[in-house]
Amino acid sequence: MARLPDRVICVGRGRLGKTLAAALRSHSVEVEVVAGRGNAKVLVQGETVLLAVPDAAISTVAQRVVGIKGTVVHCSGSLGLAPLEPLRSSGFRVGVLHPLISIPKVLVPEELRGTSLVGTGDPAVLKLGARWAKLLGMRWVRVEQLDPTMYHAGAALLANGAVALAWQAEQLLLKAGVPDNQVRGMLGPLLASVAKNLTGVGARAALSGPVARGDANTVMRHLELLRRNKQTSALRAYEAMLLLQLEMTGRDVSSSVDDALLQLLLEQST
Residue 39 belongs to what domain range?
Answer: 8-146
Residue 196 lies in a domain: yes
20 plus 136 within the same structural domain = yes
50 plus 134 within the same structural domain = yes
135 plus 182 within the same structural domain = no
Residue 3 lies in a domain: no
44 plus 141 within the same structural domain = yes
- DSSP letter assigned to residue 28: T
What are the E-state strand segments in 37-186?
42-45, 48-51, 65-68, 71-74, 93-100, 116-121, 139-142
Boundary-marking domain end, from 109, 125, 146: 146
Say what the pLDDT of residue 117 is. Answer: 98
127 plus 186 within the same structural domain = no
Angle at the Cα of 149 from the Cα atoms of 141 and 151, rounded to 5 degrees? 30
Overall average pLDDT of the 205-214 stretch? 89
- DSSP letter assigned to residue 209: S
- The model's pTM: 0.85
Instruction: Return d(Cα 269, Cα 213) in angstroms, integer.
Output: 7
Which residues make beta-bridge pairs with 66?
Answer: 43
Q: Which helix (H) or strand (E) holds 11?
A: strand 8-11
Residues 187-192: contacts with CB within 8 Å, 24+ apart?
191/162, 191/166
Judged by average pLDDT, the poorest of 19-23, 117-121, 206-210, 212-216 is 212-216
Overall average pLDDT of the 143-167 stretch? 95
Residue 78 lies in a domain: yes
Judged by average pLDDT, the poorest of 184-188, 233-237, 245-249, 258-262 is 258-262
Angle at the Cα of 103 from the Cα atoms of 124 and 41, rounded to 5 degrees? 50
Boundary-marking domain end, from 121, 146, 171: 146
If one counts the domains in the chain, the total is 2
106 plus 162 within the same structural domain = no
The residue among 3 and 236 whose pLDDT is bigger is 236
What's the whole-number average pLDDT of the chain?
91
Instruction: Return d(Cα 75, Cα 80) in angstroms, integer.
Output: 10
**pLDDT greater than 60 at residue 270:** no
Boundary-marking domain end, from 95, 111, 146: 146
- Would you place residue 2 in the very low, low, confident or very high pLDDT band (cuts 50, 70, 90)? very low
Residue 1 lies in a domain: no
Strand, helix or coil for residue 42? strand
Say what the pLDDT of residue 258 is. Answer: 62
Q: Which percentage of the chain shows pLDDT scores above 90?
A: 79
73 plus 176 within the same structural domain = no
| 266, 214 contact by CB (below 8 A) | yes
140 plus 161 within the same structural domain = no
Give the type of residue at 44.
V
Overall average pLDDT of the 30-42 stretch? 93
Instruction: Return d(Cα 232, Cα 150) in angstroms, integer.
Output: 29
Say what the pLDDT of residue 248 is. Answer: 86
We report the CATH number of the domain holding residue 23 as 3.40.50.720
